[in-house]
A and B are shown apart, each in its own frame.
Chain A
Amino acid sequence: MARYSITINGKKQNVNVAEDMPLLWVLRDELGLTGTKFGCGRGLCGTCTIHLDGEPTRACMTSVEYVDGSEITTIEGLSTDLSHPLQQAWIAEEVPQCGYCQSGQIMTAAALLEKNSDPSDEDINTAMKMNLCRCGTYQRIRKAIHRAAKEI
Chain B
Amino acid sequence: MPESSVSRRDFLKVSSTAGVGLMIGVFLPAKERLVAAGLAPSQPFEPNAFLAIHPDNSVVITVAKSEMGQHVRTSLPMILGDELEADWSQITVLQADANEQKYGNQGTGGSGSIRESFTILRKTGAAAKEVLIKAGAKKWGVTIEECIATKGKIIHLPTKRQFTFGELAEMASSYSLSTNPKLKDPEDFNFIGKSMPGKDTPSRANGKAQFGIDIRIPDMLYATVIHCPTFGGKAKSFNSNSAKGIPGVTDIFAIEEGVAIVGNNTWSVIQGQRALDIEWDHGDFANWDSNRIKSFMEKKGGSGKAVIARKEGDVTTAHKKAASVFEVQYEVPFTHHATMEPMNCVAHVGNGKCEIWVPTQVPQRVQTKAAEHLGIPLEQVKVHVTLLGGGFGRRLFADYVTDALEISQKIGKPVKMLWTREEDMAHDFFRPTSIHKLSAALTKKNQAKSWSHRIIAPSISAQRSPQKFTKGELDKSAVSGARNLPYEIPNLHIDYIMTNTKVPVGWWRAVYNSQNGFANEGFVDELAHLADEDPYHFRVKLLKNSPRHLGVLNVAAEKSGWGTKLGKGRGRGIAVHESFGSWAAHVAEVTVKSDGSFTVDRIVGAIDCGLPVHPDGIRMQMESGIVYGLTSTLKGEITIKKGAVEQSNFHDFELLRIDESPEMEIHIVASDEPPSGAGEPGLPPVAPSVANAIFDATGKRIRKLPIRPEDLRA
Contacts and interface: CB of A to CB of B under 8 A. Distances in A.
B387 interface: yes
Contacts of A57: none
B601 to A, nearest CB: 13
A36 B267 CA distance: 15
A127 to B, nearest CB: 9
A29 B267 contact: yes
Contacts of A97: 69-71, 620, 624
Contacts of A82: 202, 205-206
A96 B421 contact: no
A contact face: mostly helix, strand, loop, or mixed: loop
A41 interface: yes
A41 B424 CA distance: 12
Contact of B208 (A35, A42, A94, A130): A35
A135 B197 contact: no
Given A44-B649, A139-B661, A96 B201 contact: yes
Contacts of A136: 623-628, 656, 661
Interface string B1-41: 11010000000000000000000000000000000000000
Given A79-B206, A134-B390, A139 B266 contact: no
B388 interface: yes
Interface string A80-107: 0010000100110011111111110010
B340 to A, nearest CB: 4
A37 B389 contact: yes
Interface string B201-240: 1111111111101101000001000000000000000000
B222 A135 contact: no
B294 to A, nearest CB: 27
Given A21-B267, A22-B267, A125-B658, A101 B340 contact: yes
Interface string B613-635: 00010001001111110000000
Contacts of A117: none
Question: Interface size bucket, A side?
Answer: 35 or more
A59 B209 CA distance: 19
Interface in B335-379: 338-342
Nearest to B662: A139
Nearest to B650: A44
A18 B341 contact: no
B565 interface: no
A131 B658 contact: yes
A76 interface: yes
Nearest to B625: A136
A133 B655 CA distance: 8
A21 B656 CA distance: 30
Contacts of B268: 18
Contact of B266 (A1, A28, A42, A78): A28
A45 B650 contact: yes
Interface in A123-148: 124-126, 128-142
Contacts of B195: 94
Contact of B420 (A20, A41, A98): A41
Interface string A28-61: 1110111111111110110100000000000000
Nearest to A35: B207
A132 B205 contact: no
B270 interface: yes
B205 A37 contact: no
A119 to B, nearest CB: 12
A20 to B, nearest CB: 8
Contacts of B656: 136, 138
Contact of A21 (B265, B388, B626, B661): B265
Contact of B655 (A30, A76, A95, A132): A132
Contact of B204 (A96, A132, A140): A96
Given A34-B216, A94-B620, A136-B661, A42 B649 contact: yes
Nearest to B246: A18
Given A28-B266, A45-B340, A98-B389, A40 B650 contact: yes
Given A37-B213, A42-B651, A126-B659, A25 B267 contact: yes
B contact face: mostly helix, strand, loop, or mixed: loop
B68 interface: yes
Given A41-B421, A126-B659, A136-B656, A98 B387 contact: yes
Most central of B202, B206, B210 by chain A CB within 10 Å = B206
Contacts of A137: 620, 623-624
Nearest to A142: B658
A34 to B, nearest CB: 4
A61 to B, nearest CB: 12
A75 interface: yes
Given A18-B267, A99-B200, A138 B658 contact: yes
A70 B206 CA distance: 22
A98 B198 CA distance: 11
B161 to A, nearest CB: 37
B658 A37 contact: no
Contacts of A96: 69, 198, 200-201, 204-205
A99 B204 contact: yes
A91 B205 contact: yes
Interface in B296-343: 338-342
B445 interface: no
Nearest to B341: A100
Contact of B213 (A38, A74, A128, A134): A38
A131 B656 CA distance: 10
Contact of A38 (B197, B265, B266, B625): B266
Nearest to B67: A98
Contact of A35 (B206, B267, B341, B420): B206
B658 to A, nearest CB: 4
B558 interface: no
B421 A87 contact: no
Contacts of A18: 247-248, 267-268
Contacts of B624: 97, 135-137
Contacts of A42: 421, 649-651
A42 B650 CA distance: 9
Contacts of B657: 129-130, 132, 138
A25 B266 contact: yes
Most central of A82, A131, A134 by chain B CB within 10 Å = A134
Nearest to A32: B2
A140 to B, nearest CB: 7
A76 to B, nearest CB: 5
B209 A99 contact: yes
Given A38-B266, A41-B270, 14 more contacts: A21-B265, A25-B267, A29-B267, A30-B265, A34-B213, A41-B421, A78-B206, A98-B341, A98-B391, A129-B659, A134-B340, A136-B623, A136-B661, A138-B657
- State the 10 A-B residue pairs at the shortest beta-carbon distance, nearest first: A35-B207, A136-B627, A99-B204, A100-B389, A98-B69, A97-B69, A75-B207, A138-B661, A96-B204, A125-B659
26 contacts: A18-B267, A25-B267, A28-B214, A32-B4, A32-B216, A38-B266, A38-B418, A41-B649, A42-B651, A45-B650, A87-B206, A91-B202, A94-B616, A95-B201, A96-B200, A96-B205, A98-B387, A99-B387, A99-B389, A106-B205, A129-B659, A131-B658, A134-B339, A136-B627, A139-B623, A139-B664
